[in-house]
Every structure is written in structure tokens, then in C-alpha cells.
Structure 1
Amino acid sequence: MSTVFNFTFVPWFRSVAPYIHKFRHQTFVVGVPGEAIAAGKLPNLVQDLALIQSMGVRIVLVHGFRPQVNEQLRAKGHEARYHRGIRITDAVVLDCAQEAAGQLRFEIEAAFSMGLPNTPMAGATVRVISGNFITARPVGIVDGIDFQHSGVVRKVDTAGIVRALDMGALVLLSPFGFSPTGEAFNLSMEEVATSVAVALQADKLIFVTEVPGIRVRPFDPPGDDNPIDTELPLRDAERILAEGPPPVQPTDPGFYLQHCVRACKGGVERSHIIPFAVDGSLLLEVYVHDGIGTMVVDEKLEHLREATADDVGGILQLIEPFEKDGTLVKRSRTEIERDIANYTIIEHDGVIFGCAALYPYPEARTGEMASLTVAPQAQGQGDGEKLLKRIEQRARLMGLESIFVLTTRTMHWFLKRGFQPVAPDWLPEARKRKYDWDRRSQVLVKRL
């Protein structure tokens, strides 16, 4: 039994180690809606946040309280009212919101103070600091509706939050802000988390939500044939928001996505939407290669796109050295020109630094990823993974269930990213006929 455990634990731990190194000293802003706390997810979320902080990540936690406020309003016979997805906060609602915020902050601080021997963070101490870090202003009157005590963030006390993080504390923020005259405003968790992430220029903004992420076809019903899009470029996220109806409910595709887009435009390179229904979703998203939810990526520093006929020369120049040393099978200019629609490229400042092609075999519900190449000067920066993600995304949109590669030298790179070896006989019939038995390429498959 211990031998089996070693074979599973050791490779897993080694695969996680690079992410531990990468995220040490980085700042994550984590938004947790009140629905997660109402669903009983707080104890495990707190354990995971404490574990992440113990690995050197600086954490700002913003909690919501939507269902808790609504519950108090129902008890008082008072109606919860919204417009454009924003709560209208009258005096009764403000009173309920202040009471709910105080109760939730107490529960969260108590959860971080527990030193239970049977938890992953036995013996750990997490100092929690909260305070009046948010200055707010009123929403005002919109569409003729007075939002009263509902507000939006005017200013974030960045210096104060950074001082608390520098002390090793976890910063806890409630969705409240105060005016310079001392007036309290009810804010949304999403607004606070996004504003704080932008103000801090955080490395990640993570929403732990009611939804599992953004679907490949966001406005179609969920299902196995409409999986979660694990990596969404900023421009695609903007397109989804433009095509869909205005988001009103937290379960609408654009509800959290609009805040991820705003964060990315504000300088936060990675924003995540992950499900609180899955235990350990925070750890799975942060420390596992493929993650579990949707990551919105700002790609303005580089351009990942489908190739055009104008890119043939750049692709040939890129792959030629790898063809000469035998890493890649040689392809003629005619072949690449014919198949150019199958290629995805990464370019920096107009120069192609990476490419990959997808050759679908629809009858077998699979596709071949070929010519995955990254220029030597750009290797080690994650461009290969970005190309792989895009090829996976293209394959899913085609309705394919897997992708496969043939390789003689880069087998371990693919194994680390979820591919499994199979015999050449596994190949689709049309591809099997073209298999070069002299080259003896390894066949690796990844299920989508």
C-alpha cells in the first residue's frame, strides 16, 4: 500500500512544487459570496486559504452577504429589491446589512482562529486584520431609481492593506465603504474585490462562486458536451459580455465575468471563476495545471491567434531548426499553406514565437496536435502551455473528445500536462495509415 502511495504522492508533489515557488510573495484577492458561507463551505475554504497563505501567498479575502441580508429582510417582512443586479439599500436594508456583516466577520475570524488537530493547518496561526480600508460614494439615481445607501468604491487604502500584508496578516474586507463624512454605504462583494485587486495590482483575483465557470458555449445549457472553458482570453470574455444579455443574477454567465474583465483591463493579469460546490476548488485552481474553473487572461503582452496565409513564412522559419534536428517531422511550404487554417500562433511585436496545429479526425472524435513549437529564446515562459490550451479549446468547439500527439523527444512535457501513452494501434484508421514505423514515435492522448 505504501509503495502505491509513494508512486502517486511523489510525482504529484513534484508537479505542485513549481506553483508553490511561483506564487510565493504574490498577492491574491479572493471573493467569497455569502451563498458559499450559507452552504456550509466556510470551514474548508478557511483551511485552504490558511494553507495557501502558509506557502507564502499574501491574501485579501472579501466576503459577500447577499443571502444573509435577504434572510433578515424576510424575517422583518421587508422586500429585497434590485435594479440592474444592484441592491437598493434603504434604511432597513442598511441595518440588516450591517448586522449580517458583523456576524459573518465574527464567524470568519473565529474559523481562522481554530487550531483543530485534525485539520491540514493544525498548529498554524493566521492573524486576520480588517478595517475601514474602503472609501465609497453613493450609486445615486439611475434610470429614475434612487439606490439610497448603495454605493460604489471611490478609493482603496492601498498603503494600509499592504502594511497589514507585510505583517503576515490575512486582510478581511466586508462589502462596506464609508464616506469622508462617516456615512456607510452597502457595496457588492464583487465590486470591492475587483477594486482592491486593481488598486493592489494583485497577481490574481479569484471568485469562489455558485457557478462552475464559463462554458465553452456560455449561453447554452450545461452538460458534458458544453464543458467549462478553462482559459478565456480577455478579448473572448469581452465578446461574451457584448453578445449576452445584461447580467443580473449571480448565475448569469456575465455576472462574475464582467468583474474579471474589469480587473484584467486594470492590470490584474489573471482572474478566476471557480465553484464553491467542489471541495478544494481553490487548491485545484491554483496548484493544478488545468485548474477547475475559468481563468480570464490578459494577453496584451502577446497575441495568441489563429494563423493566416501571411504567417506561412514565419511558421516555416520557426519550425525549420526543429525539423533539421529531427524533433519535428518535415513539412513543406505547400503543406503548411494548404493547412494554414489548422494553425494557432503566438506572436510578440509581430514576430511569431510559437505555433501548433490541430488536425481533426471527426469520425473518431479526436484530433492530432502537430508542430507544437516555441522559439528557443521564448522557452520556459509558458507559451507552449498557452498553445496547448488554445488547441484544446478549438478541439472542444469541434466536438472532439480527445487530442493526441506523436513525439520522439518531448514525451515528458506532455505527460506532465495530462497526456497518457497508448499503442499506435489506438490511432484513427486514417492516421494509422500514415504512421512512420521507422520513426517509432510515441503516441500520447489527452481526454478533454
Structure 2
Amino acid sequence: MSTVFNFTFVPWFRSVAPYIHMHRGKTFVVGLAGEAIAAGKLPNIVQDLALIQSMGVKVVLVHGFRPQVNEQLKAKGHAAKYSHGMRITDEVALDCAQEAAGQLRYEIEAAFSMGLPNTPMAGSKTRVISGNFITARPVGIVDGVDFRHSGLVRKVDVAGITKSLDFGAMVLISPFGFSPTGEAFNLTMEEVATSVATALQADKLVFLTEIPGIRLRPLEPETEENGIDTELPLAAAEQLLAQLPSPQQPTDTAFYLQHCVKACKGGVERSHIVPFATDGALLLEIYVHDGIGTMVVDEKLEELREATPDDVGGVLQLIEPFEKDGTLVKRDRTEIERDIANYSIIEHDGVIFACAALYPYPEARTGEMAALTVSPHSQGQGDGEKILKRIEQRARAMGLESIFVLTTRTMHWFLKRGFVQADPEWLPEARKRKYNWDRRSMVFVKKL
């Protein structure tokens, strides 16, 4: 039994290591829907957040309290009132919101203080700091509706939050804000989390929600079987929003999506919508290649383009470690300089994170994709798929009917993406002459 466990645990643990390194020192803002707490998910979510923080991530947790406030209102025989997708906060609702926020804050702090042996919290020392980090202003009267004590974020105390995070604490923020005159305003968790993530220029904004992610209509072949689109470029997310009706409740497709789009446009690289119903959803989204919910990503941050002679140094630096460990066949600098026009790359802030080359064999209507490489620092972000798609586009533009790869290590990755194994004898004559029979590379072909 233990041998089987070792065989599964060791490769699994190694596979998540790149993400642990990549996220260390980053800032994540997590918006936790009040529904998740009402559904009894708090203990597991707290364990996962403590684990994420222990791996060097700075965490700001913004909790919601929609069902808890409604419960308090019901107990007082008072109806919950909404308009434009927001609560109308009268005096009674404001009292209920303050009671619910206080109660939830204590529940969350208590959950982070647990350190029972034989639980994931054993030995965990998570210091939680809350405070008046949000200055608010009233929503006012919209289309003749007076929102009373409902507010919007006016300002985020970036210095206060940053200082607390640098101190090693997790910052907990309730959806409340105060005006400079000391008046309290009931805010929405979604707006607070988005404003905080934007003000901090956080690396991620993650909403733990009732919905499993965004279902694109019509479904595309790339989407998962359950119809969830795991990655939405910002432009596609904006396009989708424009077609959707104005959201009235959290289960409406546009409800969380509008905040993800706003955060991305405000400089937050990636925004996620993740289902709290799935145990460990946060860990799955952050540390596993395909994730579990929907990620909205600002693609402008990454440039996917054909390489130029100026990129030779960056390409060499990227592929060298993979040549050393035998994943890639060694190429000398002269060869890369000669063939640089065959390469496509993904560049981010002047650093090359992924590359691949296309060598066409027009007489056989096929082409070889070679030197496909993704930096360990960006594995799991979909860069491999992006480069593959670009190579496929270039091959189609040349009138090729298929592309092929030779590999000794990464066959599963190609099989999952529509390649099928072929005999080395299938290779075009010119390529067969260069085939290294000692290396015993497998040949995989994909029809275009």
C-alpha cells in the first residue's frame, strides 16, 4: 500500500512544485461568498487558505454575508429588499448587517485559530488582522430608488493592508465601509474584493461562489465536458458581458463576471470564479494545471508573436535546462540564429516564457513542431496550448495538412491535444534521414 502511495504522491507533489515557486510572494485577494459559510464549507476553506499562505502567498480574504443578513431580517420579521442587483439597506437591514458581519468575523478568526493535532491546521500559526481599511460613500438614489445605507467603495487603505501583509498576517475584510464622518455603509463583497485587488494590484482575484464557472454558449470544442470555459481572454469576457442582461442575483452569469472584467481592466492579471461546492476548489484552481473554475486573463500582458534575431538569447536561456536534462535535443546557437524565423514565442515584460519552432516539409504536406518549451515559472497558465495553436495557424497558412512532433518524455501532453502516435517510417523522407534511431523518439501526428 505504501509503495503505491509513494508512486502517486511523489510525482504529484513534484508536479505542483512549479506553482508553489511561481506564487511565492504574490498577493491573492479571495472573495468568499456568504453562501459558502452558510453551506458549512468554512472549516475546509480556512484550512486551504492557511496552507496557501504557508507556501508564501499573501492573502486578503473578503467575506460576504448575504444569506446571514437575510436570516437576521427574517428573524426580525423584516423583508429583504433588492434593486439593480444590490441590497436596499434601511435602518433594520443595517443593524442586521452589522450583527452578521461581527458574528462571521469571529467565526472566521476562530477557524484560523484552530490547531488540533491530526488536522491540516496542526502547527499552523495564521495571524488574522481586520480593520477599517475601506472608506465608503453612499450609493444614493438610482432610477428613483433610494439605497439608504448601501454604499460603494471610495478608497482602499493600501498602505495599511500592505503593512499587515508584510507583517506576515492574513488580512480579513468585511463588506463594510465608513465615511469620513463615521457613518457606516453596507457594501457588497464582490465590489470590495474587486476594489481591494485593483488598489493592491494583486496577482489574482478569486471568487469562491455558488456557480461552477462561466458556461459559454455555444459550447466550443476546447471547453471541458461540463461546459465550463476554464480560460476566458479579457476581450472574450467583455464580449460575453455585452450580450448578457444586467445581473440581478449571484447565480446570473454576468454577476461575478462583471467584477472579473473590471479587475482585469484595472491591472489584476488574472481573476477566477471557482465553485465552493467542490472540496479543495482553491487548491485545485491555484496549483493544478487545468484548474476547476473559470479564469479571466488579460492577454495583453503576454505577447504571442513570431521570434526575431533579438530573441535568440532569450530562446537559448529558456531551452537550455531542458536540453541538459534530455527533454529536448541539443541545438547550438548558430542553428537557432539560422532558424529564428521558424520560432513563435510568448513574451511577458521582456522575458520569453514559451517557444516552439515549425519546420515545414511542403512536399509531404506536413511540418515538424520542434523545441516546444514552457518555462517552469509559467507552467499551468496555458502557454503550451497558446504556442501550439499559433504553430497550427502558421502550418495551415502554409497549406500543410498535419504537424508532427518527436518526443521521448511528453507524449501524454500531445495525446491529450489531439495527436496520435505514428511509426517513424511515416516521417517525410528528408526528416527520416535525420531521425536519431538511438534516441528512439516517438512520433506523434495531428491532422489540421
TM-score (norm. length: structure 2): 0.76
Aligned residue for 2:409, secondary structure, equals helix
Residue 68 of structure 1: aligned partner:
68
Distance in 2 (alpha carbons) for counterparts of 1:13 and 1:171 = 28
Is contact 2:355–2:387 with CA below 8 Å preserved after alignment? no
- % identity of equivalent residues: 67
What are the Cα deviations for residues 21-46 of structure 1, in whole angstroms up to 9, with x where unaligned? 11111111000000000000000000
Q: CA deviation at 1:150?
A: 0.4
Q: Which amino acid aligns with 2:21?
A: H
Aligned residue for 1:52, secondary structure, equals helix
What are the Cα deviations for residues 371-397 of structure 1, in whole angstroms up to 9, with x where unaligned? 37669xx96674996454458999xxx
- 1:149-168 counterparts in 2 under 5 A? 149-168=149-168
Q: CA deviation at 1:226?
A: 5.0
Residue 134 of structure 1: aligned partner:
134
Is contact 2:18–2:377 with CA below 8 Å preserved after alignment? no
Distance in 2 (alpha carbons) for counterparts of 1:210 and 1:11 = 32
Q: 1:345 to 1:76 in 2, by over 3 A?
A: same
Q: Does 1:85 align with 2:85?
A: yes
Residue 412 of structure 1: aligned partner:
409
Q: Which amino acid aligns with 2:14?
A: R
Is contact 1:231–1:389 with CA below 8 Å preserved after alignment? no
Aligned residue for 2:300, secondary structure, equals coil
Residue 339 of structure 2: aligned partner:
none
Is contact 1:246–1:254 with CA below 8 Å preserved after alignment? yes
Is contact 1:356–1:369 with CA below 8 Å preserved after alignment? no
What are the Cα deviations for residues 253-298 of structure 1, in whole angstroms up to 9, with x where unaligned? 1111111111111111011111101100111111111111111111
Aligned residue for 1:300, secondary structure, equals helix
Q: 1:301 to 1:414 in 2, by over 3 A?
A: farther
Q: CA deviation at 1:215?
A: 1.8
Distance in 2 (alpha carbons) for counterparts of 1:238 and 1:355 = 30
Is contact 1:420–1:444 with CA below 8 Å preserved after alignment? no
Residue range with higher mean Cα deviation, 227-236 or 172-181: 227-236
Distance in 1 (alpha carbons) for counterparts of 2:100 and 2:164 = 24
Q: CA deviation at 1:412?
A: 3.2
Residue 18 of structure 2: aligned partner:
18
Q: CA deviation at 1:121?
A: 2.4
Residue 35 of structure 2: aligned partner:
35
Q: Does 1:54 align with 2:72?
A: no
Residue 238 of structure 2: aligned partner:
238
Q: 1:348 to 1:168 in 2, by over 3 A?
A: closer
Residue 330 of structure 1: aligned partner:
none
Q: Which amino acid aligns with 2:369?
A: S
Residue range with higher mean Cα deviation, 157-166 or 210-219: 210-219
- 1:26-425 counterparts in 2 under 5 A? 26-217=26-217, 225=225, 227-303=227-303, 371=369, 382=378, 386-390=382-386, 406-409=404-407, 411-413=408-410, 415=412
Q: CA deviation at 1:16?
A: 1.0
Residue range with higher mean Cα deviation, 383-392 or 17-26: 383-392
Residue 340 of structure 1: aligned partner:
none
Is contact 2:290–2:380 with CA below 8 Å preserved after alignment? no
Residue range with higher mean Cα deviation, 240-249 or 100-109: 240-249
Is contact 2:127–2:168 with CA below 8 Å preserved after alignment? yes
Distance in 2 (alpha carbons) for counterparts of 1:219 and 1:386 = 19
Residue range with higher mean Cα deviation, 383-392 or 164-173: 383-392
Distance in 2 (alpha carbons) for counterparts of 1:301 and 1:282 = 24
Residue 5 of structure 1: aligned partner:
5
Q: CA deviation at 1:7?
A: 1.2
Distance in 1 (alpha carbons) for counterparts of 2:219 and 2:406 = 41
Q: CA deviation at 1:72?
A: 1.3
Distance in 1 (alpha carbons) for counterparts of 2:77 and 2:296 = 40
Q: CA deviation at 1:200?
A: 0.8
Q: How many residues align?
A: 393
Is contact 2:97–2:186 with CA below 8 Å preserved after alignment? yes
Aligned residue for 1:35, secondary structure, equals helix
Q: CA deviation at 1:227?
A: 2.1
RMSD: 4.1
